[in-house]
Amino acid sequence: METTKQAPEQTQAGVTQADDVVVVRSLEKVFRDFWGRPKAKAINDVSFEVRKGEVFGLLGPNGSGKSTTIKVLLGLLNPSRGVARIFGRSPRDVKTKERIGYLPEESYLYRYLNSAETLDFFGGLFALDGEEKKRRSEQLLEMVGLKGVQMRTVGEFSKGMQRRIGLAQALINDPDLVILDEPTAGMDPVGCREIKDLILNLKGRGKTVILSSHLLADVEDVCDRAVIYYGGKVQQYGTLEELLTERDSVQFTVPALSEAAQQEVLEVMERHVGKDSIRVDNPTQNLESLFLNVVERARASDDTSGATSGSEVAEFLRADEPVPTQAEKMLERLADKDAPQKPAALEKAQPEATQPERPKMDEAKLDTLSEAKPEPKANEPEPKAETQKKNLDEVDDKLSGLLGD
């Protein structure tokens, strides 16, 4: 990936870092009516930066200012106040745009062009030579599953197919920064999964991705850091781990245990946190995983006139090292006992991913684990069970005092 050629600049809020791809400082956008009277403040005092190689999420409900921020970043809107820089340059700088891929929230493509012509046209705007343009177009059409319908015009496409061709055009220039505005809107679960895998793949190649979505699962699955918008303002900003981790509880996931073994484990646990604080149930497969399984089986037998499931990532976009899919990442985490605990929501293992050989339970190790008291970090809250016990003790003390015990 290219690095920015301009020196990092001093901004209102401080000094930018060399690997900041996008810098937004005190951004404000006010929409006005014909007479110049303010109509709506779409974004208000927004500041954040996006670093090289990360997947950055813009999260918020509809109308919270995500798309407006993106449009300012793309030079489609002028900010009323504040600064936005991409690769150290103005968003309107033509040079900057050579390194950006953009998928808008709606299909703004030419309805009379077919998918091959669409990619040829956008490839032409990047001055790609004929051979290269053809090669990339073919690979991208293959990747987004539109190879079989490349002669149908975009106007005939379903919404999901339009998103797929939109995604393909956003990647025709092998961009360093990919801006995806609601990329999974209108996509079937297979397509959603493919897009998420693609985002991870792009990340694996050192590309920077900005993902705007109001679908929490999209952001949660792929983003490293995120801002949460509401009413045009940034409400929360940080890494997903910072935003999501519940540090006052612990979750173990183990292969199914015999009743006796379960009872044994519970007894050990009860000694430390009390019976009411422990919850035991079987993990359920989520609907996305179930759907993907069904489609995978059907694909083997039936033809379709619509979009097929996309094939592997286009060769020119592929990372040197294979980038693991989410399922593979999950398996890796499960297999690696030393891996740090991830937030519970991230650990919804897929059924096919949870089929390793059932390990033999090491009860001694379980005892050790249950006995081991985690060292609380200075800035971390106390574990939830600990806190609850402490609170109960305090209440008990107070009651004793009141009753004169």
Partner 1 sequence: MSRSKLLAIVFLTWKAALRYRFFWVMLALLALAVGGIPLLVKDDGSAEGMTQILITYTLSMITAILGAATLWISAGALATEIENFQLQMVVTKPIPRWQIWLGKWLGVMSMNFILLLFAGGVVYGMVEYRARTLTSDAMERLEDRQDDEIYRMAAMSQIVPFEIDPETNRPKLDDNDQPIMRDIQEVRRDVAGIEEKRLRDTVLIARASIPISDQIRVGNDEALEDWIQSLKKQYLPVRLRQVLRVKNEAEQQRGVGPDQMSQELDSYEVRQAEIQIEEEIRNYSQVIIPDGRVQLFFQKPKGWKPGTEEKMILRVYFEDPKVSFKNDNRYGLQLFCGPKDQPDLVRTPDGLTLDARTKHEFQIPTSLESNIKDGGRRSIFDEDGLVSVALMNRDQGGPKHNYRAQLKVPFLDHRGRVGGEGVELMYHEGGFGKNYLRALGIVFAWLGALAALGLFAASFMSFAMSAFACLGVLIISFCVGLMQDVVEDGTVMQTYTEGQRDSSIVDTYAVWSFKAMIAAIKPVKDYSPIEKLTEGRSITWGELLRAYGYIWGLSGLTLGVLGSCILSRRQLAITSTNGGGS
The residue ranges that bind partner 1 (CB under 8 A) are 29-34, 36, 38-39, 71, 74-78, 80, 94-95, 97-98, 100, 102, 104, 106, 108-110, 112-113, 117, 121-122, 124-128, 153, 169, 173
Is the Cβ of residue 39 or residue 271 nearer to partner 1 in the bound state? 39
Residue 316 has a CB neighbour count (10 Å cut-off) of: 14
Is the Cβ of residue 128 or residue 228 nearer to partner 1 in the bound state? 128
Residue 199 has a CB neighbour count (10 Å cut-off) of: 22
Q: d(Cα 43, Cα 63) in Å, to the nearest integer?
A: 10
Least separation in angstroms between residue 239's CB and partner 1 is: 28
Is the Cβ of residue 108 or residue 252 nearer to partner 1 in the bound state? 108
Q: d(Cα 256, Cα 274) in Å, to the nearest integer?
A: 22
Least separation in angstroms between residue 113's CB and partner 1 is: 6
Read off φ and ψ for residue 238, nearest 5 degrees: 165, -170
Read off φ and ψ for residue 213, nearest 5 degrees: -160, 155
Find the radius of gyration of the CA atoms of the chain: 25
Give the tokens for residue 379. 């800035």
Least separation in angstroms between residue 4's CB and partner 1 is: 16
Least separation in angstroms between residue 339's CB and partner 1 is: 39
Least separation in angstroms between residue 233's CB and partner 1 is: 18
The region, left, alpha or beta by phi > 0 then psi within -120 to 50, assigned to residue 326 is alpha
The region, left, alpha or beta by phi > 0 then psi within -120 to 50, assigned to residue 181 is beta
Least separation in angstroms between residue 121's CB and partner 1 is: 6
From the list 109, 208, 112, 214, the residue with the least C-alpha distance to 168 is: 109
Is the Cβ of residue 178 or residue 323 nearer to partner 1 in the bound state? 178
Q: d(Cα 226, Cα 219) in Å, to the nearest integer?
A: 8
Least separation in angstroms between residue 166's CB and partner 1 is: 9
Least separation in angstroms between residue 36's CB and partner 1 is: 8
User: CA distances (Å), 179 to each of 10, 14, 85, in order?
Assistant: 24, 25, 14
Is the Cβ of residue 207 or residue 225 nearer to partner 1 in the bound state? 207
Q: d(Cα 249, Cα 376) in Å, to the nearest integer?
A: 12
Distance from chain centroid for Cα 200: 8
Least separation in angstroms between residue 141's CB and partner 1 is: 18
Angle, helix 287-299 to helix 189-204, in steps of 10 degrees: 100
Strand partners, 27: 46
Is the Cβ of residue 95 or residue 398 nearer to partner 1 in the bound state? 95
Is the Cβ of residue 29 or residue 348 nearer to partner 1 in the bound state? 29
Least separation in angstroms between residue 67's CB and partner 1 is: 9
Is the Cβ of residue 109 or residue 314 nearer to partner 1 in the bound state? 109
Is the Cβ of residue 30 or residue 334 nearer to partner 1 in the bound state? 30
Is the Cβ of residue 100 or residue 313 nearer to partner 1 in the bound state? 100
Give the helix ranges, DSSP H, for 319-405: 326-335, 363-371, 384-403
- Count how many Cα atoms sit within 13 Å of the Cα of residue 92 in the half-sphere of its side chain: 5
Q: d(Cα 57, Cα 191) in Å, to the nearest integer?
A: 19
